[in-house]
Each structure stands twice: as C-alpha cells, then as structure tokens.
Structure 1
Amino acid sequence: MKRHIKSKIVWLRLLMCISTICNSPFLLCGQSVDSLEQLLAEKSLTDAARIQLYYDLSWAYKNIDVNRSIDFGKKGLVLAQKTGDSKKEASLYFNIGTAYYAGGTYDTAMIYLEKARTLADKLQNYRQQSSIYNAYANIYNVQSLYEMALENYFAAVRILEDHNDTQGQAVLYYNIGNIYQRMENFEQAFKYFRITEELATDAGSQEVLAGVYVSLSNITFHQGKPSAVSVDYAHKAAEISRKAGDKYRENFAIQALAQLYSLHDDYVTAEPIARQALAMAKELGFPSLITPALVILADIYFQQGQYAQSVVLAGEALAIDSTDYNHTKDIYTNLAVANAYLGHPELTHKYMDSYRTASDRYANESYQKTLSGMEIKYETEKKELQIASLEQERKLSIWLGVACVAILLIALALAFIRYRLAVNRRKLAEEETRRLEQEKQLVAVQATLDGEAAERTRLAKDLHDGLGSMLSAVKINLPQVKGDAVLEAVDVSRFQTALGMLDDSIRELRRVAHHMMPESLLRYGLKISLSDFCDAIAIAQFHYFGSEARLPEKLEIMVYRCIHELVNNALKHAAGTQINVQLVQESERVSFTVQDDGKGFDAHTVSEGMGLRNIRQRVAAFQGKMAVYSSEQGTEIHVELELTNKDSND
C-alpha cells in the first residue's frame, strides 16, 4: 500500500506541472512583463493596443500574481466594453475566470467563464469555446467531481474534432487520461494516453508527450507489465524534456525513473538516479521538486538499511513547507521506523504521534489501511529476523520494542475509549434527566398559563357583562331619580360630577376588561390588538413586519401578555420619553422587541423582578429565547420564538 501511494505522487505532481505549460513567469512573446507594464504609460497608444496589453499582462500574471492578473483583466474588460470589442471582451472574461481558478476561488471563476462562453457562442469562436469547457473541467477536476469534469472535457473535444484541431485534442485527451488514472481505471487511462501520444507526436507537442510517458510509466507498473516497459517510458519522458531544455519537467521524469527502480527493489540503480534528481531539484530551487526527491532518496536508503542517512534526508524534507499529505505521511513513517531501528524510542514515539495527527487531519480510512499494511510488513519481517544472524536478532529486538510500544498505545487508546464511552453515557443520562425535568417544568408552566388565560377570560367576561352592566344601569336610572326635583346650583354641579365619574368608571372598567382578554386579539390577531394597545399610550409606537397569518391562540395570548407586561414595566420604571414595540412574524419564527430610552439598569447587579421572571417562564414554555440589553441610554428586551410546522399551519 505504501509503495502504491508513493508511485502516485510522481504523476500527480507532473499533472500539476503540465497545467502551467506556456505560462512563463518572466517572458511573454519575447517581452518581459515589466516592459509590457511600461508600455501602458505611453499616451500615444490606441485603445486596441492598450486592450491587447491588458490582455497579455492578465495572462502573464495568471500563475504568478492572481490579484494583478485579475486587476489587469478587469481594466482591459472595461475598455473592451467601452469600445465594443466583443472578441477581446470574451477573452478577458476568460482570463479573469482562469485567474480566479488559479487562486482557488472556483465559484467566481465559473461566473466569469460563463460570461465568456455566452460571448464565444455568439461569436462562434470554436477555440475559445473549447478552452472554456476545458476550464470548466479543470475546476471540477480539482474538486474531485470527475463525472462532471469528463463531461466538459468531452464537450471540448467534440468542438475541436469538428474543426480537425489535433493539437488541442492532444491536451484534452491527456486530461481525460489523467482523470481515469486518478480514478485508478488504468485500462481507460492507457487507452486515452495512447490516443494522446499519437496526436501529440503528429502535432510536435513535446511537453504533452513528456507528461504522457510519465503517466504511462506509472500505469504499466500498476498493470504488472515488465519493469523494462515502465522504465523505458520514464527514460523517454526525461529525454524529451532534456532536448526541449525544460529542466523542471526533466526533473519530474528522473524522479519517476528513480521511483520505478526503487519499487522494483533495484536500489543499486535507483540510488544514483535519485541523488541526481535531488541535486538538480536543489539547483532549480523549487520546493515542489525538492520535497519528493528527498522522500524518494530517503526511502531508498531506508530499504537498504542505511537508517541514519534516511533520517537525515527525511528530516530535511520535513523542514520544507509542503502541503502534500502523501509526502508528509511518508516522511513521518520513515522517521518513526528508521529511529526505531536506530534505537531511539522517544523519537519513534514523537514521529508516530505526528503521523497520527497528520492522518487524522485528512483521511481516517486511508490511515487505518496504512497501519494495516505496516502490521503485515512487521509480521513478515519478524519471521525473517527469527532465522537471521546476530545483527538481524538485534533488529528483531528493536522491532519487538516498537511492537510493545504500539500495543501499549493501543491498550491506552482502548482504555481511553472505554472511559470516554462511560463519560458519554453518564452525560447522556444526565441530559435525559435534565430534559425530563425541564419538560416537567414546562408542562407546569404551560398549565399555569392556560389557567391564567382561562381565569382572565372569565374575569373579563364577568367585569364586562356583570359589573359593567350594573354600572350602565345605574347611569340610566340616576337621571330618573332626579326627576322633577329642584336642586340647588351646587347640587346640580355635584350631580353632574357624579355622572361624569360614573362614565369614567365604565370606560375604565371596559378598558381593564379589554386588556385582560382583548376582543380584537381573539377576532383579528396580534397586529390589530397590539396596535390598539399602543395607540392608547401616548409615548408608545408599534411597528409590524412580515406575514399577518394567524398563530395558535395560546401563542398569540402569550405574546400579547408579554408585550403588555414589558410596556407597563417601561412606563413604571424607565422614566423614558418613547417606547418602541416591534413584532416580526415569519413562516418559521416570531420575534418581538420592546425598547425604551429610559434610565436603564445594570443587569449584573440588579435582580429581575417578578414581571420579567414571569415573562421568561412564559417564553420558555414555548421553547423561546429572551435577551435583555440595558444601559444608561435605555433598555431593550428581545424575544425569539421558533414555529413548528404544526404551529405555522394552524
């Protein structure tokens, strides 16, 4: 398993390398990027020449400085749109999209590529259409959406086939082969790499040919072909890159060659090739080349029993900032096992921990398979050591020590897992107890609220229908009592005052009865009843947002009572000049806020009164949340209530 993963590293890195073909960081069409930027300062440039410069700079910076590439592309785009140059507008949209792709912002890249495709379709520019589909596929490829990537690659191929563009087809078939190779469908990958080889040979595309031969060397190894076949492909890739003067891709081919000899256990041949690849990588100065070269050479030394040299090279690779998980994993493996052979248990333990941390960060399944492979390797080597010389017996003792450490770690891990399970079970039991207790409290609160609502309804009805009717009867009969009696002026005044006080009492009684259980709430809902309530208070203002759909009766009564209590609290204690009441009703939630500009209070030092506690209980009974914010500028109380499907449909 370990060697299978390592053999994939070489062709994956070459695939990333091929994606940068013809994007030199220093030259573009024989001119330096700096000289192109200097040309922009010339005032005599025509609009067409300036647009072309923006296009060239946007393309040149795509793999160097994504932000500058996007900036130049957008400046050119504005000028192209201003002059009506649709062809350059489409090209600049494409440049900006691929720059966002290079920077890893795939959603934005898709937006600009789609704009480019719309214009390319109108212009019937088949090369641009094909390039856009290829860019779509590249984005899906890096996201491991292989089916969508293949769909777009084939769409691009069909366009080029219609125009007999074999050079473009070679690149696309190479990309398709790489997709199948990543999916480990080696038969299909081999088929498309063969097609690519023929097309690239006819078109004279040496860079693509070099990539094809590196991939074929990997595929033939996995197909179990003779070692000479895969080695020959790697030699071809190195020779092509050497003749083209492309040391970067030549180094990848040499690394693939060293890897192949190592995988076939020919370490005598593999070692000098790997040293050559490492020296060349350091001379070129690319970390993406240096790291895999160090890993390959460290593994060769390890397989030959030269553990000290393997540790030195693996440590050097670890010091390089690499984001490649496969390399990091192989480095930690070499360091852990080599230090075990060297008799350094502390370092072995350290790198085993680092290995576990790296593995957990990425793929636990892959990590478990790797451990299984290491165990199989350990059992095999242990049997061989039992019949070996004294030196081999020493190595066996070291492996036994490593095994003991591993068993101890496993035992500790099992004990920790059992402990965590016990803790989790206890926490679940405690949470269940708390949940049941909370449900019990909520049932009690809900019952109290139901009783309170029923009692308020009864009292409101009694006050309105009973006492209200009696007072009205008294008002009707008083004038009759007066009759034709002659009263002094002072008595007339007192009589009229008494009638006025009686009218006030009747109105107050009706107001109290109305607020205890407002008829408008039961008939028309929260919006109208709260609007009536706030209209009756000079400093209160009511704001309503959202749907006017009716809520369950109990919920409407609870919201009304809470707002009523909060407004009364503000009137009694805040000493403010304005009270704002806001109600927001949506399909899945209801929220309300009562805010005043009064003197406020310190929530940390002042305990909540009975009113706020009652409101909290009511809100909790409906699984809502309440927040209180208070300062010298005033107080704001906000309540959120989630609506279930049942609530929203009632």
Structure 2
Amino acid sequence: MKRFYCLIFLMLFFSAQSAAQELKETLIKAFTSQDSSDYYFKIAKRKIKTPADEAQYYFCKNARCCDYNQLDSAVVYGEKALHLLQKVGDIPSLLTVYNNLTKVYRKQGQYDKAIQYSLQGIRVAEKEKKENWIAFFNANLSLTYHDFESYPKGIYYGKKALNYWLSQKKLAPDMICNALNAIAINFDDWNKPDSALYYHKKVFRYFKGKDTIYIGDTYNNIGNTLLKQKKYAEAKRWITSAVKISDKNFEINGGVKDNNYYYERATNYTNLATIAFQTDDFDKAEHYFKIAESYVNKSQNAEKLRDFYFQRSAFNKKRNHLAKAVQDQENYIKIRDSVFDVERAQIFSELEAKYQNEKKEKQLLQSKTEIREREIEIKQKNTQFLILGLVSLALLCIIYLVYRQQKLKIKQKEQEFELKSAITKIETQNRLQEQRLAISRDLHDNIGAQLTFIISSVDNIKYAFDIQNQKLDTKLSGISDFAKSTIIELRDTIWAMNKNEITFEDLQTRIHNFIDKAQEAKSDILFNFFVDDALKHKKFSSIEGMNVYRTIQEAVNNSIKYAEAQKITVEVKSEADKVRISITDDGKGFDVNAPVRGNGLLNIQKRIAEINGSFTIESAPSGTTIRILL
C-alpha cells in the first residue's frame, strides 16, 4: 500500500514539474512571437495551475506589452504581476516589473509614478541586498528627472549608479554606458555641453571597434549636443552614424519593430530634421519631420512628442507657416502642461522625502538593531570568555592536581627508595657491625690472649731465672713493654670497631687516658687537653674517630720523644662549620723544610688526607705546632 501511495506522489510531482515546464515553454513562445503572441498567451493561460504560474503569466504579459509599446496594457498586467509576485516571493521577476512600470510611466510623461515605482524597486532591492538593482533604479531615476527637466537631481542619481558599477571587480560595460548616458543627457539639456560630451565620449573606453554597434544612442546624443552648439555638419555625421547603427541592429534582430526601434528613429530623424531646417534645407527638413512624426507617434513617448512639436514649431515659424507653427506650439504646451505642473513637482518632493525618511528610519532601526546585536554579541563573547576562563581554570586545577599527584608519587617513590636505601644501609651497617664485633672478639680472644700469654711468659722467665745478662734482661723487658703497648693499641682498635659513631667526648676520654699514662712516664712535662663544649657531641665515623685519635696520639708521642718539651697542649675548637685541632709544644723544634721527614709525620698526613682534612705544621726553636682542619 505504501508503494502505491509513493507511486501516486511521484506521478503527481513529475506531472506538476512537467506542467510547469510546458507553461514556461509556451510563455517563451508568446513573448518572442511577432504574429502569434496572443494565441500562445491564450494557451498559456489554460496551463496555469498555481499562483506562481499565474504570476509568471502576467509577468510575461507586462514585459511583452512594454516592448511593443502597449503602454496601458503594460500597466494593467504589471499591477497584477506585482501583487502575485509579492505573494509567491519571486524577487527577480518583481524587480523587473518595477523597472518595466518605471519605463512605461516615463514614456507616458507620468514622472511622479515613474519615480514612485523606481523608489519601490529600490526599497525591495535594499531589503534583499540586490546592489545591482539599486544601481539600475538609480539610473532610471536619473533618466526620469532628466525628462522632467530636473537636471541636478538627474546628475546626482546618474553618478550614484556610475560609482557603483565602476567599483565592481568585474566591470559591466553596458551598465556603465547606461549610467554615463544618463549623466550626459542631463548635462546636455542643462546647457552644459562640455560636460555632456565628456561623459558621452567616456563610453568609448568600454566599447570599441565592432562593439560600437551596441551604442547607437551615444552617437545620436553626441550629435544632439553638437547640434545645440550649432556645429551642424559634425552633428549630422554623428547622427547619420546612429541611423546606420539602428538599421544594422534592426537586421540583426530579424526585423522586429519593438519599442527601441521606434524610439531610436524618432530621436534620430527629429535631430536630422532640426539640422536641415537650421541649415535652411527646408525640403529635407520637411521630409525628415514626416518620417520622425510617424516614429514619434508609434513610440508613444511624451518626451519625444514634446521635442518633436517644439522643433517642428520652430521650423514652421522659420519658413513663415505661422498656422502650423501655432498648432505645433499648442501641442507642445499641452504636453508640457500635462507633465510639468506644480502639483506634480510637489508629488516628486513628497515621494523623495518619504523615501529618504523611510531610509533614515530604516537606517536608525538598523543602527539600533546593530547596537542591540552588538550588545548581545558582547554579552555572548563575555559569556564565552567566562566559560573559557572557567574551563581554563578547571583544566589548570586538573593539571595541578595531576602534577601534584605525580609529584607525590615521585616523592613517595623517592621516599621508598630512600627507605630501602636506608634499610639496605642499616642492614649493611648491621652486617659490618656484626663482622666488626666478630673480628673484635677474635682479636680480643685470640691475639689479646696470646699477647697476654707472651707478657706472662716473659715476666715468669724474668722471675723464675736470675738473669745476670743485662742485655737479655733489657731485651725481655722490651718484649714485655712492646706486648703491653700492643695490647693497648689492640684495645683501642677493638673499642673503635665496636662503635658505629664516635664523639669528641669519647675521644676526650681516650686521649685523657693516653695523656695520663704519658704524664706518669714523663712527670717533667705538663700536659693540657681542651675540647670546645660545642663539639663534645659532634659525631664521627669509627674510621674518622680512630684517625683523629691516632693523629693526636702520634703528634703527642713525637713531642715527648724528640722535642724535649716542658709543655704539650692539645686544643679542639669550632671554627665556622669546621673543626680545628692544634697540638702545640714548647720544645726545640726542627726544620720543616728538611728533605726527609719521619714516619710519624707522614702517617699523620696520610690519616688526615683519608678523612678529607687538611694538615699544616709550623716549627721554630721556640716550639712546634701541628694544625688539623676537618
């Protein structure tokens, strides 16, 4: 069932399309046919199905009547077409009908209505933004004001049209020519021939060679201006060329006698007749006036009729045919009075004022609308910027949170790594401590026991045997003392190995024990030992602590052995972020620049270098000072 309805719809659609196409083809035949136009229009009328079809029918009737000077019919069909075209929204056809009605009313001398329809056309063109049509209607206004002999306004509107066409990237020579012609004829009849010729001759910039066949009216208009300047021979050449161009166009158009055909010949032969009677060639003037009269009547153009009667009146007056001159003068005045009355001039002003007021109101409304739209646009932009700012802030917050989270993860990993490293270090230290404890136990239990056994054995030998040999007794005493000294050293080593860290307070106790023993051995030497209170709790590794202890021990031993000192001082002080140790004696000193130093000094230097310290020694006959900077 659905397929059936779809088929019916398609048949109706294509049927409608086909009917519209048939109507279009019939209207084209009606418009272009010379003898069978009425026949085709009757057929077309039977094919009308929609308002759009009816609008096109009256549109074509209006155009046909305009082209063939059926002016009253053109007005009737034009008014009907306007109503229908507005209803169906066919803007191009609507603007064309406004243009046709403008031309019809201008031909009839009803310039107020011509201007009214031009202004209505401009309103529609402005609303639809059809710039080409706006320019075209301005050119129409220029021609209408010319025929009404309001030349300044005619020039004003002609220049508006010209400026538009010249501003286009792609120039339209026919439109430029139309505007130039409108400006020039206003200057011509305003009695400004130089300006008229200037604008007329500018046309030849755009039409040259064979193309001049399209500008026969320019040849005629130049001839008309020269005629008014009484340059009759030159004027005749230009107008004769215009007649030849008109005849050639008549052949090209297939012998169609339309509105342009009658209008051009009415103008050409009126001008030729004027030249003939001004040069006193009355027979030729009579001949040309007869030809012109036929064309003028068929053109149904009020301006052409007015010009014709004015020129023929002057001709009859010149040859003393006063009755004919008076008759032509009365015809001229009759036409002029029907066209140029005070009320009509007032209507012109009112129409233009109304249009200008409407335009100003429209511009004001447009300005208000633009301001309102601008305000809305600004609000929208502000809202967009606010949203963008909030989104940016949110993104920044997210980025910050992600960064912070990542940083926390990195920090956590670093802490984990540090913790693992610390645990590993602690485990390593614990293993080292265990190893140190094991070594210290081995040293104490094995080597310590063996040294104690040696000391016991030596002492037993000395007491068990009455040794008379002094050298042997001294040797045994030396062995006993060396073993005792080694045990002391061993105990110091075991003490250091059993500690992870050593403070100056620990060292102080150890050094005091050492100095006390030295004091017992050398009662004639005064020993002083001082440690800055701020450094008592400063910590060293066991290696650093032992190196510092051994260095002080070595330095004191050297002073005892070699310096013959009476006073030995050991000072440990804080200096900025460093520790300074000084061992000073008042002994006899020695030469620090001697090539060979003792092993004691070399050992001190090596020990301090191992713990990244610096070592200096100063010596004089008044004493020696060793300085260590840690």
Normalising by structure 2, report the TM-score: 0.42
The structure having more radius of gyration, on CA atoms, is 2
